[in-house]
Chain A
Amino acid sequence: MNTDTVERLPRISAMQFATMITSGYIALGIFYFPRQAISNAGRAGLWSIVLDGLITWVLMHLIFRVSRLVPNETLTSFAPKILSKPVGFVMAMYTIIYHFILAIAAVTLFGFVLGDIFLPLTPTWVIVGSLVFTAVYMGWGGTAGLARTLQSGYTPIVILTSLTGLATSLLVRHPVLLLPPSTFPVIPILRGAWQEYIIFIGFQLAVTLYPFIRNEQRKQAEKYTYIALGIVIAILVIEYEVMIATFGPAYITQLRWPLVSLMRILSVQGFFIDKFGLLVVALWTIIVAGFTAVRLWCLTHDTMAMFRLKGALAYHIVLAVSGFALILSSTVIPNAQFDEMLNERYLIPAGTFYLVGIPLILLPVAYFRRKTVKKLRTQTETTPPPVG
């Protein structure tokens, strides 16, 4: 426990941090995975996935470095102090809007998936509405409550999904395709990696979440996040292999949501629920709800940091309002095709720009304004961790 901070934020453990960061990505891209990679690079799409993972690794490292500049404040609140107010303001606005659009894309996508499979007669806004309502409730209990919910709900579902994913390997038809691709068409791989990157977009919430880690667990939290990323990449690679060996590359490019299709053909004979894979897809609700909740949480905290709002009441109001806005804005997206276009044309470029841009701007500026940074660092904590 730490008492020497000026205003003590509610703290979370290292593992909770890693869970929250991990739940902040995957959810959106997992539905398209691995169509873009395969449609661009064919069987060599596997390298696109691995490349994406490596890039994320590097970017994550940079983002943590930025967060460590002033480890007790969120980016939105310390960026103006380093970069001057207008730039900081623009950066904060960008963060907020980006989180918001990402959340819209995720909830509507899931609304379409569920509407298509389970609830064909239910309007999408109802599915999205109840999903967002749940997400808001998840965030209602504050950072610790959200982190605990994710730990006790999200993690088991991810494990279950991975196990089911392994079970799908029984469906493998063409073991030949399990062999790693021998070709390296560079341009298609890069193009595939770019379009597939939606799966990793979203971990930038680290800049908001970082100050909430318990001081002594920061290093550990970073380590766990890297480990979680490693696990995610491993799962994705396995799933990629299973899928390509089941469907073959040509058919996957025809599927709107390949992983959902894979799950749907998985059935268990002699069980209560025949289509077990479909049940798992329904259980993904918690992955999407977690994604949305984490994003709403970020949105709320960034908004509060920007307008210098404090207290539980303000948190609840901003959270509820952003949830409501999310439901309203999600009605703008008419169909799944539009949602995909939104991802490809806007979210990937904007997200990558953010992930690369933040460290690129902040780290050099911080180097030149060492004194200010040092003052900020010691203001909130006597012995801040080293940046490097």
Chain B
Amino acid sequence: MWPFSRHKPKFDAKRPEIAQHLDEPPKSPAMKLMETLKTSEETLEHVTGVDLGLLKDLITETQTFSKRLEALGQDLTQGKSAIPEKTLDEFSGDVEAAYDRLKSTVGQSPDIIIRRFYIGQSQQVPALLAFVDGLASNEMIDQDTVTLMQSYKGTKSLQQNPSTAHQIIHDSVVSVGHATVETKWSKLIIDLMGGNTIVFIQGCAEVLVLDTVKYPARAISAPMTERAVKGPQEAFNEVILTQMNLIRRRIKSPNLHFDPVKVGQLSQTLVVVAHVEGVTNPELVMAVKRRLTSIQIANLEYSNTLSESLSNSRSLFPQVRSTERADIVARDLAMGKVAIMVDNTPYALTLPATFIDFYQTTDDYTASFWEASLERLVRLLGLFVGLLLPSLYIALSSVDPELLPTKLVITIAGSRVGIPFPPIFEVIIMWTIIEILREAAIRLPKELSTTLGTVGAIVVGTAVVRAALVSDIMIVIITLTALGLFTSPVYEMAVPWRILFWFIIIAAYFLGIFGIILALIVILAHLASLENFGVPYLSPFGPLRVRDLKDSWVRFPERNMVYRQTSLRTVSPKQRTRNPKKPMVSPQLHQTQQEHFDDEV
């Protein structure tokens, strides 16, 4: 209840002023209310201590609302006379009504341009176009739309069959490449907001939607988070169309499908589900789409928001691979996975992802299989070193020293003389320092972070040891750990290990080597129980798939990888033939070669 309404009777004297405006015939209740409010405003101007802003807001809102109501009413009455079953959501064919409706809804915002004009010169047909300034290409609207329409000569036909006017315009007037037809307001507004230009023609219920989308976008740059030595240097940008283009360039087959889904009531973000028909398991595509459409959120800003809904447990481990590299997405698609792209996010998601996927990079496929295998094994080693070294140190130096060689035991004991803390505290101190340094280095500007690194190195390297807070062996161990954990080519994969690290440390503290092994079993059991869209996370190790092992911790030569991953259950399992056909030798060349051989003999 509006609080000031009670005071209304007091200001009866001012009523005549309102009466002056009452010459307009339709006196809607909204108008009346608004006028009352205006009066109150004027009155209240003289009263101090009242926040007039609120009242002004209310007046504007009421104004807008009444206008919108009016436009709607008009639209409805117009429409009803033409086609009886039209609803409020559909365009009636009256350009004026459309103008009012647009003006009263989105037209309030300065970036929305609504323009009335006439088609043709001799017989003029009223028309209306609307677009978002900045999202649509001005040249296209000027030259390919407005100019052409205004100078159109065959307007007569338009007037004769107004219901097919859009067809004529579409076929023979506008020269915009992509044009569609839409009747529903709810869809039109979203199209408009996406950068399209919508054209209303008097008497025609169908509205032309011209694709004039052109907005500022970041150039295609080299990938920042997944660098490759020899691979292609193209990363996605924020524009989904560019993302699709980049993939389309790599997979030209017509079987590549991009299925659009809109997610987010507020943001109406375009999400594209990409898959290759005839390769990807259709059940998987269906499941992904069903999962996506069931997502009810107001705003979808980042693709990662989706990845949480796409993996079904609260596991630490990422189950959806997020990448900015177009080549990785294309590769995954060709392998039979599904890619999900989200407008305004340069990171596409590919799924289902298995554990080993997070240890594969572009470089693995651009280098020789020897190098690739070596690098992958180094990553595995890095993982083990990073995850286990500090816990092994704790276990071996405090719980099970009998496992170490005597000389090493003496060295460790020597480096620990005078250190007041047990090894676990050393680890905690050092790891805290490392994490703080890391976090600070990410947030700081580049120039400062270098300085920070140096300072950190000095502090960690010398001062802490000098102060006898940690032993010097510990420095070596923690440095290796910090490096080892980040050998995972995908950043997300380093995170679970950084957390599980503590779990193993605690286990090692209490139960030594036995504790470490138990902790590893628990982690393994967890990984084995994970499944993403029916694909076991630990495959090809979990359910042992010997054929898939060819592209796991070692990579076999391409020639041997005849089949796609079994776990993806693709429609066509083969991806290449084992023995490529030998090209037919040119007879002449063959002869020459033969002679050449004869020479040698």
Any B CB within 8 A of the CB of A367: no
Contacts of A141 in B (CB 8 A): 525-526, 528-529
- Greatest chain B CB density within 10 A among A16, A155, A272 is at A272
- A286 engages B517 (CB within 8 Å): yes
**A138 and chain B: residue at smallest CB distance:** B525
- B544 engages A15 (CB within 8 Å): yes
The stretch that binds A, out of B68-76, B233-241, B301-309, B399-407, is B399-407
Q: How far is the CB of A23 from chain B (nearest CB, A)?
A: 13
Any B CB within 8 A of the CB of A118: yes
Taking a contact as CB atoms closer than 8 A, the residue among B511, B527, B544 that contacts A130 in the complex is B511
Any B CB within 8 A of the CB of A127: yes
Q: How far is the CB of A258 from chain B (nearest CB, A)?
A: 20
Complex CA gap A16/B541 in Å reads 11
- A134 engages B522 (CB within 8 Å): yes
Near A by CB (< 8 A), chain B positions 392-444 give: 396, 399-400, 402-406, 408
Answer whether A149 and B528 are a contact pair too, CB < 8 Å, given A127-B511, A130-B518.
yes
Interface residues on A, range: 35 or more
**A271 and chain B: residue at smallest CB distance:** B405
Contacts of B396 in A (CB 8 A): 273
- A285 engages B521 (CB within 8 Å): yes
- B403 engages A114 (CB within 8 Å): no
Taking a contact as CB atoms closer than 8 A, the residue among B402, B515, B524, B538 that contacts A275 in the complex is B402
Any B CB within 8 A of the CB of A289: yes
- A279 engages B403 (CB within 8 Å): yes
Contacts of A216 in B (CB 8 A): none
Q: How far is the CB of A131 from chain B (nearest CB, A)?
A: 7
Contacts of B541 in A (CB 8 A): 151-152
Complex CA gap A224/B354 in Å reads 27
Near B by CB (< 8 A), chain A positions 121-176 give: 122, 126-127, 130-131, 133-134, 137-138, 140-142, 144-149, 151-153, 155
Complex CA gap A170/B458 in Å reads 48
Contacts of A126 in B (CB 8 A): 511
Q: How far is the CB of A90 from chain B (nearest CB, A)?
A: 34
- A118 engages B514 (CB within 8 Å): yes
Complex CA gap A307/B527 in Å reads 31
**A13 and chain B: residue at smallest CB distance:** B543
Any A CB within 8 A of the CB of B201: no
- B528 engages A278 (CB within 8 Å): no
Complex CA gap A144/B517 in Å reads 22
**A153 and chain B: residue at smallest CB distance:** B524
Answer whether A145 and B404 are a contact pair too, CB < 8 Å, given A118-B513, A151-B544, A279-B513.
no
Contacts of B406 in A (CB 8 A): 274
- B518 engages A289 (CB within 8 Å): yes
Any A CB within 8 A of the CB of B278: no
Any A CB within 8 A of the CB of B461: no
Any B CB within 8 A of the CB of A83: no
- A289 engages B521 (CB within 8 Å): yes
Answer whether A282 and B521 are a contact pair too, CB < 8 Å, given A272-B408, A274-B403, A274-B404.
no
Any B CB within 8 A of the CB of A119: yes
- Greatest chain A CB density within 10 A among B400, B405, B406, B528 is at B528
Any B CB within 8 A of the CB of A283: yes
- A140 engages B403 (CB within 8 Å): no
- A148 engages B538 (CB within 8 Å): yes
20 more A-B residue pairs beyond the given contacts A142-B529, A149-B524, A282-B513, with a C-beta to C-beta distance below 8 A: A15-B544, A119-B512, A119-B514, A126-B511, A130-B511, A131-B518, A134-B518, A140-B525, A141-B526, A145-B529, A148-B536, A151-B541, A151-B544, A152-B524, A153-B524, A273-B405, A278-B403, A279-B513, A282-B514, A289-B518
User: Which residue numbers of B lie inside 8 Å of A, CB to CB?
Assistant: 396, 399-400, 402-406, 408, 511-515, 517-518, 521-522, 524-529, 536, 538, 541-544
User: Which residue numbers of A lie inside 8 Å of B, CB to CB?
Assistant: 13, 15-16, 114, 118-119, 122, 126-127, 130-131, 133-134, 137-138, 140-142, 144-149, 151-153, 155, 270-275, 278-279, 282-283, 285-286, 289
Task: Provide a sorted-by-A list of 16 A–B residue pairs whose CB atoms are within 8 angstroms.
Answer: A118-B513, A118-B514, A127-B514, A130-B511, A141-B525, A141-B526, A142-B529, A148-B543, A152-B544, A153-B521, A274-B404, A274-B405, A278-B402, A278-B403, A285-B517, A285-B521
Name the 10 nearest CB pairs between A and B, nearest first. A141-B529, A148-B542, A145-B529, A148-B528, A274-B405, A152-B541, A149-B528, A138-B525, A285-B517, A282-B513
